[in-house]
């Protein structure tokens, strides 16, 4: 079973249009993603942070 990771938008720019997800992620919003997608977005450490211990 694929592991999902929760990440939060912390971007100083506010809401972000995220082509990888095909959606806008609002500032402060938490989304649950497959690990591969989450890893790509978490590499942008000024825009996203991991939530919780997963």
Determine the structural domain holding residue 41 and report its residue range.
Answer: 4-50
Query: How much is the pTM?
Result: 0.89
Q: Is the pLDDT of residue 49 over 90?
A: yes
Average pLDDT over residues 12-41: 96
Query: Which residue reads 């919780």 in tokens?
Result: 52
pLDDT of residue 52: 87
What is the distance in angstroms between the CA of the first residue and the CA of the last residue of the chain? 14
How many domains are contained in the chain? 1
Distances (CA, A) of 48 to 1, 8, 35, 41: 24, 5, 14, 7
pLDDT of 53 above 70: no
Query: How many CB atoms are closer than 10 A to CB 31?
Result: 20
What residues form DSSP beta bridges with 48? Answer: 9
Residue with tokens 């989450």: 38
Q: How many residues does the chain have?
A: 54
């Amino acid at each position: 079973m694929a592991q999902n990771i929760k990440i939060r938008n912390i971007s100083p720019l506010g809401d972000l249009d995220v082509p990888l997800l095909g959606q806008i992620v609002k500032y402060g919003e938490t989304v649950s993603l497959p690990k591969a997608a989450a890893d790509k977005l978490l590499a942008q450490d000024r825009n996203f942070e991991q939530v919780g211990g997963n």
